[in-house]
Amino acid sequence: MTFQHILVPVDDSDISQAAIKQAIQMAKAFNSKITAVCVIAVDPFVGVDFYNVTPVITEYFIQAEAHAKKVLARIESICAQAGIASENRIIKGEPTETGIVHVAHEIGADLIVIGSHGRTGLKKLMLGSVAQDVLNKTHIPVLVVK
* Secondary structure (DSSP) of 109-126: -SEEEEE-----HHHHHH
Q: Is a pLDDT exceeding 60 seen at residue 9?
A: yes
Provide the mean pLDDT of the chain: 85
* pLDDT at res. 98: 92
Which tops the pLDDT comparison, 88 or 41? 88
pLDDT number for residue 122:
44
**CATH code, domain carrying 110:** 3.40.50.620
Gap between the Cα atoms of 97 and 36, Å rounded: 14
Query: Considering only CA atoms, which of 86, 110, 84, 91 is closest in space to residue 6?
Result: 110
Task: Give the per-residue pLDDT at 123.
Answer: 42
| Segment 58-114, tens digit of pLDDT | 787 888 899 999 999 999 999 999 999 999 999 987 888 999 999 999 999 999 999
Distances (CA, A) of 143 to 21, 52, 57, 70, 110: 13, 36, 34, 25, 11
What pLDDT does residue 124 have? 44
The DSSP secondary-structure symbol of 54 reads -
Spatial distance between the Cα atoms of 19 and 63, rounded to a whole number of angstroms: 24
129: pLDDT confidence band, cut at 50, 70 and 90?
Answer: confident
Q: How many domains does the chain have?
A: 1
Structural domain of residue 127, as residue ranges?
Answer: 5-145
Please give the average per-residue pLDDT across 118-129, as a whole number: 49
Does residue 125 register a pLDDT over 50?
Answer: no
Q: Is 56 exposed, middle or buried (0-12, 13-18, 19+ CB in 10 A)?
A: exposed
pLDDT at 126: 39
Count of Cβ atoms closer than 10 Å to residue 68 Cβ: 23
What is the three-class DSSP state of 143?
A: strand
